[in-house]
Structure 1
Amino acid sequence: MLKIDRVRVEIQTEAGLYGVDEKFETGLNLLASEDNTWGKSSILEAIYYGLGFEEIVGGVGEKVLTSVYKTYIEHDEKKLAVLESKIYLQISNGKETVTLYRAAKMENRNSKLITVYYAELDKIGEATLIYDTYVHMKNSSVNEQGFHNFLENFLNIKLPKVPTTDGNQRKLYLQLIFSCMFIEQKHGWGDLFSGMPILGIKDAKKRVLEFVMNLDTLSNEKKKEELKAEEIKIKKDWGKVVNDIITACSKENCDVIGIPMKPSALTEIDLSGMHILKNKKNISESIEELKKEYSQIECVKPKVVDNFDKLQEELNKIENDVASYEEDVKWLQDHIMNEKAMIETLNNNLEIISNDLRNNKDAAKLRELGSELNCLTSKDICPVCNQKISDSLLPNVEGIEIMSIDVNIHHLNAQKKMLEYAKESHKKNREDMDKKLQLLHGKIFSLRRLAKAIRSDLYSVDDNLSEALVYKKIELQMEVDNLENLIKFVDEQKEVLLRFADEWKVYLQRKKELPKDKFTDSDRKKIQLLRNKFVANLEKYNYKSVIDKNEINISEDNYLPIVEQFDMKFDSSASDNVRGIWAYTVALQQVSMNMGGNHPRVLIFDEPVQHSIVPGDMKNFLDSIIELGKNCQTIIGITVKDSDTQKKIDELDDNVCNLIKVKNKAFQKLA
Structure 2
Amino acid sequence: MKIRAVKLRMTTAQGEFGFKFEFSRGLTVIRGSNSSGKSTFYNTLIYGLGMEELIGGKGEKVLPYAVREYFVQGDIRVTVESSEVLVELENASGRCVTLRRAIRDSMRQSKLVEVFESAHLTEGTELGMPQPTYLFDPGSAQKQEGYFHFLEGFMGYQLPQVPATNGGVAKLYLQTIFAALAVEQKRGWTDYIANIPFSEFATRALGSPSSCWVWGCSSDRPNERPLTPIPWRLTLTGARPTYDTLRQAAAANGVVIEGLSATPVSMFDPAAILFVKSDGNTKTTLLDQVSKLRAEHNALGAKAEAYGKASGAEALQELEVASSELQRLSVLHERATTNLTLQKAALDELRLLLSESSEDLERNKTALKLRKLGAQMEIEVATDHCPTCHQAVDDTLLVGIVTGPQMDLNTNIDYLDSQRKMLQNQINGAVEEIRQSEITVADVAARLAAIHDYRNSLRGDVSTGMAESRAIVRRQIQIDLELSNLQAFKTQAEALMFTFGEIADRLAANQGDRRALPKETYSDVDVSRISLFEKHFRGNASSFGYESAEIADIRISLDTLTPILSELELREILRPKAQTSLTADSSASDFVRLIWSYLLALYQTSATRGFEGQHPGLLLMDEPGQHSMRSASQRALLQLLIAQPGLQAIVAASFDEDESVFMTATAGLAFHLIQWEGKVIQPISA
1:621 aligns with 2:637: yes
Q: Tell me how far apart the structure 2 counterparts of residues 118 and 541 of structure 1 sit (CA, whole Å).
A: 41
Q: Tell me how far apart the structure 2 counterparts of residues 84 and 581 of structure 1 sit (CA, whole Å).
A: 38
Cα RMSD for the two superposed structures: 2.9
1:574 aligns with 2:588: yes
Aligned residue for 1:552? 554
Which residues of 2 match residues 102-501 of structure 1 at below 5 A?
102-122=101-121, 126-127=126-127, 130-203=130-203, 205-218=207-220, 221-222=225-226, 225-226=229-230
Q: Tell me how far apart the structure 1 counterparts of residues 110 and 621 of structure 2 sit (CA, whole Å).
A: 25
Change (3 A) 1:521 1:222: closer
1:633 aligns with 2:682: no
Q: Tell me how far apart the structure 1 counterparts of residues 564 and 666 of structure 2 sit (CA, whole Å).
A: 37
Aligned residue for 2:452? none
Q: Secondary structure at the match of 1:600?
A: coil
**Deviation (angstroms), 1:551:** 2.3
Change (3 A) 1:124 1:132: farther
Which residues of 2 match residues 63-74 of structure 1 at below 5 A?
63-74=61-72
Aligned residue for 1:593? 607
Change (3 A) 1:115 1:513: same
**Deviation (angstroms), 1:196:** 1.4
Letter in 2 for 1:632: L
Among 52, 55, 68, the alignment partner of 1:54 is 52
Q: Is the 2:68–2:104 Cα contact (8 Å) retained in structure 1?
A: yes
Q: Secondary structure at the match of 1:153?
A: helix
5+ residue gaps in structure 2? 238-264, 268-504, 575-586
Q: Tell me how far apart the structure 1 counterparts of residues 103 and 13 of structure 2 sit (CA, whole Å).
A: 17
1:43 aligns with 2:58: no
Aligned residue for 2:546? 543
Aligned residue for 2:363? none
Q: Secondary structure at the match of 1:152?
A: helix
Q: Secondary structure at the match of 1:539?
A: helix
1:86 aligns with 2:88: no
Q: Tell me how far apart the structure 1 counterparts of residues 81 and 125 of structure 2 sit (CA, whole Å).
A: 24
Aligned length: 403
Q: Tell me how far apart the structure 2 counterparts of residues 213 and 169 of structure 1 sit (CA, whole Å).
A: 22
Q: Secondary structure at the match of 1:85?
A: strand
Q: Secondary structure at the match of 1:645?
A: helix
Q: Tell me how far apart the structure 1 counterparts of residues 45 and 592 of structure 2 sit (CA, whole Å).
A: 23
1:394-420 C-alpha deviation (Å, 9 max, x unpaired): xxxxxxxxxxxxxxxxxxxxxxxxxxx
Q: Is the 2:27–2:642 Cα contact (8 Å) retained in structure 1?
A: yes
* Structure with greater contact order relative to length (CA < 8 Å, sep ≥ 6): 1
Q: Secondary structure at the match of 2:629?
A: coil
Q: Is the 1:227–1:511 Cα contact (8 Å) retained in structure 2?
A: no
1:400-443 C-alpha deviation (Å, 9 max, x unpaired): xxxxxxxxxxxxxxxxxxxxxxxxxxxxxxxxxxxxxxxxxxxx
Q: Tell me how far apart the structure 2 counterparts of residues 89 and 625 of structure 1 sit (CA, whole Å).
A: 23
Q: Is the 1:61–1:112 Cα contact (8 Å) retained in structure 2?
A: yes
Q: Is the 1:118–1:124 Cα contact (8 Å) retained in structure 2?
A: no
Q: Tell me how far apart the structure 2 counterparts of residues 230 and 190 of structure 1 sit (CA, whole Å).
A: 36
Among 661, 670, 673, the alignment partner of 1:645 is 661
Change (3 A) 1:609 1:229: closer
1:271-301 C-alpha deviation (Å, 9 max, x unpaired): xxxxxxxxxxxxxxxxxxxxxxxxxxxxxxx
Letter in 2 for 1:577: F
Q: Is the 1:117–1:124 Cα contact (8 Å) retained in structure 2?
A: no
Which residues of 2 match residues 8-23 of structure 1 at below 5 A?
8-23=7-22
1:85-117 C-alpha deviation (Å, 9 max, x unpaired): 100100110320000000001111111111000
1:610 aligns with 2:626: yes
Letter in 1 for 2:110: S
Aligned residue for 2:4? 5
1:200-219 C-alpha deviation (Å, 9 max, x unpaired): 22116221111111112249
Letter in 2 for 1:574: A
1:473-528 C-alpha deviation (Å, 9 max, x unpaired): xxxxxxxxxxxxxxxxxxxxxxxxxxx9xxx99996x7676332111111111111
Letter in 1 for 2:653: I
5+ residue gaps in structure 1? 234-260, 264-499
Q: Is the 1:18–1:668 Cα contact (8 Å) retained in structure 2?
A: yes
Q: Tell me how far apart the structure 2 counterparts of residues 16 and 110 of structure 1 sit (CA, whole Å).
A: 23
Q: Tell me how far apart the structure 2 counterparts of residues 230 and 646 of structure 1 sit (CA, whole Å).
A: 56
Q: Is the 1:31–1:662 Cα contact (8 Å) retained in structure 2?
A: no
Change (3 A) 1:223 1:562: closer
1:17-41 C-alpha deviation (Å, 9 max, x unpaired): 11000000111110112x1111121
Letter in 2 for 1:644: S
Letter in 1 for 2:139: N
1:565 aligns with 2:567: yes
Letter in 1 for 2:605: V
**Deviation (angstroms), 1:582:** 0.7
Change (3 A) 1:530 1:42: same
Among 529, 533, 536, the alignment partner of 1:530 is 533
